[in-house]
A = this chain, B = another copy of it.
Amino acid sequence: MKATIQSIGVIHTPYTSTGEIPRQGVLEPVTEGRVVLKDEYKEGLEGLNTFSHAVLIFYFHQAREERLKGTPPWADKERGVFAIRGPHRPNRLGLSVVKIHKITPDGFVFSGVDMLDGTPLIDIKPYVNMLDPLKEGGEGFQGRH
């Protein structure tokens, strides 16, 4: 199966090279990033303000190759690409959970920044506690279908 994906917007962050990016964005609660949607997708945001967090699916646009094995900085030997989260992977999709600070007319401001400035955004999903949705409260957990 093959399909074409296209960006729904762009993610602006303070990071212009991979070396600047914290290992885990959620540990950097102060740094802010900004999601800016293309005009045609703005209305898709309606209702996201009821969630505290969102899942961003984005494209690792600076990944130069796909590898099936990699050695993350914290490990002393290679792991399979599906056991690590790095950018050099089949289909080059990245995933981050971010905290929504402020909804704007064309997107939102968030913390939990761990992607490069200019990263193409592919999808946004409301974040709910995925392992234990009933404890999450609120209505979001029922929105799967």
Q: Is A143 an interface residue (CB 8 A)?
A: yes
Q: Is A109 an interface residue (CB 8 A)?
A: no
Q: A48-B82, A61-B1, A84-B47 are in contact. Are A93 and B123 (CB under 8 A)?
A: yes
Separation of A53 and B85 alpha carbons in the complex (Å): 14
Q: Tell me the number of copies of this protein.
A: 2
Min CB distance A64 to B, Å, is 14
- Majority SS of interface residues in chain A? mixed
Contact partner, A142, options B6, B73, B145, Cβ 8 Å: B73
Separation of A21 and B72 alpha carbons in the complex (Å): 36
A143 touches B44 (CB 8 A): no
A7 touches B18 (CB 8 A): no
Separation of A1 and B61 alpha carbons in the complex (Å): 9
